[in-house]
Amino acid sequence: MKLSLLTLATAATVVNAAYPGDIVYYWVDQSATFVNGTVIGGLQSPPSAWYQAIVQAAVYQAAVKSKNESLEFQQLAVSHAAHNSALWVFHGSRLYNAVDASLRAIIPAIGLDPNSKKGKEAVQTGQKAAAAVAQARAEDGITNFLDFTYGPKEPGVYQQSPGANPFPDTPQAQFVRPFAGLGDITRFRPPPPPPTDSKQYEEELLYVKEQGSLDSSARSEYDTDTAYFWRESSITVWNRFAGALVGDKFTTKVLDSAKFYAQLNYALANAGIASWDSKYTHLGWRPITAIHHPTPWVSSGRDISDPSWTPLLRPTPSHPDYVSTHSTFGGAASAVLQAWNGGSDELAAPGVTVSSNVTLDARGVIERTYTSLREAAEENSASRVFGGIHFTFAGVEGVALGQRVAKETLKQFDANWDKF
């Protein structure tokens, strides 16, 4: 059951009755609200994945420590773990009120008095779990300053995109320590992108120029909606997708739910780090920079320059093109969900339905139903081309990279889950 805060008052009227929904997903959903909230302006990738992995690491730690206790005890422990780990990430911000409100709303529905003997034990279990994760991640590299200098304004070289920040986002994230003891992230690095003077590069450039333009007449209405639908944080969408996939399966199985979301978010965080490693190794320019470039440079020698060209999704994100992190997240998520779906890529009828509220261009709510995980991952990747902010090869290699990282994360998880 996916219950909103508005329904919790009704649930709370039953004394000493556990929260009737999946408590872990409750905090997954609340965490998405925190990270996307206007109070903090959102987080860029991969820090958004890093954040969710930290919260889910604390939740899983609390679930493991409380697995032999009552359901109410487990729910209260998990809730305090999620609360404290979220505030550790955002300490010093006005987000405190929002995180406190989420905990305050769920406690009555859980039914275990936090001031009772068992309640205090549960609270301490959650708090200790969050503290352990915070201590382990305190020097993981995410806060280290790394300056950046743009290269020469030559074909293929990453430059500041029009309308983007003057410096790229979190270049230090390529060096963040992976979760679950994954080790050297560079071993997953994809091969270089196609040469800028190759026929493939020119073909893909012309494709994104035509399909990804703000005023494109070639892009279908469905593909326009695809770009809009997947514009939201990929971390948020894939966690929502996961919640729709498992439904009520883990309502009374806190440990199973915690493991599921920990594996998913560990894989997403690791995929984000791997993507950043690729981006800041290959330093490929974005389509808008290529299309605005003033001189003929493509293999055919023709002049494809259009300084007025604008992508559908704007502004272009402030980091290099190759690989697409959105696509990397999709590849990672689909690999984890496939493992939890009995190894099958196919989703049981009628499929998984997910909605996204699109604020860009006042598009509104878009709903999509997927019958296979591959379909969802590939559409997620293609959305960035239809949006005009990535080349197709950046998406294709991104999906493959995410899948490799996720499979290795799953392989390492049971032995190294507590290597936060």
Read off the pLDDT band of 228 (50, 70, 90). Answer: very high
pLDDT for residue 349 is more than 90: yes
Question: By 3-state DSSP, what share of the chain in percent is helix, strand and coil, each rounded to 5?
Answer: 55, 5, 40
pLDDT tens, position by position, 3-28: 555 455 444 444 456 999 999 999 99
Look at residues 396, 393, 364, 362 and name the one whose alpha carbon lies nearest to residue 378: 396
pLDDT for residue 329 is more than 50: yes
Phi-psi sector, 156: left (phi>0), alpha (psi -120 to 50), beta: left
Read off the pLDDT band of 41 (50, 70, 90). Answer: very low
Look at residues 389, 398, 394 and name the one whose alpha carbon lies nearest to residue 211: 389
pLDDT for residue 46 is more than 90: no
> Which of 91-100, 128-137, 273-282, 390-399 is predicted with the least confidence, judged by mean pLDDT?
91-100
pLDDT for residue 288 is more than 60: yes
pLDDT for residue 1 is more than 80: no
> Which of 89-93, 236-240, 314-318 is predicted with the least confidence, judged by mean pLDDT?
89-93
Give the pLDDT mean for 59-71: 98
Confidence (pLDDT) at 14: 40
Contacts (Cβ under 8 Å, ≥6 apart) of 147: none
Confidence (pLDDT) at 420: 80
Q: Is 89 helix (H, G, I), strand (E, B) or coil?
A: helix
What's the chain's average pLDDT? 93
Check: CB of residue 410 under 8 Å from CB of residue 343: no
pLDDT tens, position by position, 72-114: 999 999 999 999 999 999 886 778 889 999 999 999 999 999 9
Read off the pLDDT band of 44 (50, 70, 90). Answer: low
Contacts (Cβ under 8 Å, ≥6 apart) of 66: 73, 74, 77, 78, 122, 125, 254
338 compared with 9, residue with greater pLDDT? 338
Q: CA-to-CA distance for 277 and 293, rounded, in angstroms?
A: 26
Confidence (pLDDT) at 418: 87
Read off the pLDDT band of 45 (50, 70, 90). Answer: low
- Sequence spans of domains, the chain: 5-137, 171-416
Confidence (pLDDT) at 29: 95
Q: Tokens in use for 346?
A: 């196919």
Confidence (pLDDT) at 292: 97
| Residue 350 backbone phi and psi in degrees, to 5 | -90, 20
Check: CB of residue 406 under 8 Å from CB of residue 267: yes
6 compared with 264, residue with greater pLDDT? 264
Read off the pLDDT band of 47 (50, 70, 90). Answer: confident
pLDDT for residue 391 is more than 80: yes
CB atoms within 10 A of CB 154: 11
What's the 3-state SS for the chain? CCCCHHHHHHHCCCCCCCCCCCHHHHHHHHHHHHHHCCCCCCCCCCHHHHHHHHHHHHHHHHHHHCCCCCHHHHHHHHHHHHHHHHHHHHCCCCCHHHHHHHHHHHHHHHCCCCCCHHHHHHHHHHHHHHHHHHHHHCCCCCCCCCCCCCCCCCCCECCCCCCCCCCCCCHHHHHCCCCCCCCCHHHHCCCCCCCCCCHHHHHHHHHHHHHCECCCCCCCHHHHHHHHHCCCCHHHHHHHHHHHHHCCCCCCCHHHHHHHHHHHHHHHHHHHHHHHHHHHHHCECCHHHHHHCCCCCCCCCCCCCCCCCCECCCCCCCCCCCCCHHHHHHHHHHHHHHHHCCCCCECCCCCEEEEEEECHHHCEEEEEEECEHHHHHHHHHHHHHHCCCCCHHHHHHHHHHHHHHHHHHHHHHHHHCCCC
Share of the chain above pLDDT 70, in %: 93
43 compared with 400, residue with greater pLDDT? 400
H helix and E strand count, the chain: 14, 2
Residue type, 357: N
Give the pLDDT mean for 187-203: 97
pTM for the structure as a whole: 0.94
Q: CA-to-CA distance for 132 and 371, rounded, in angstroms?
A: 39
Give the pLDDT mean for 333-340: 98
Check: CB of residue 297 under 8 Å from CB of residue 155: yes
Strands (DSSP E) found in 2-102: none
Look at residues 48, 78, 73 and name the one whose alpha carbon lies nearest to residue 62: 78
Q: Which fold has domain 171-416?
A: Vanadium-containing Chloroperoxidase; domain 2 (1.10.606)
Q: CA-to-CA distance for 402 and 408, rounded, in angstroms?
A: 10
Q: Tokens in use for 120?
A: 């205090």
CB atoms within 10 A of CB 194: 18
Confidence (pLDDT) at 35: 74
DSSP result, 197-210: TSHHHHHHHHHHHH
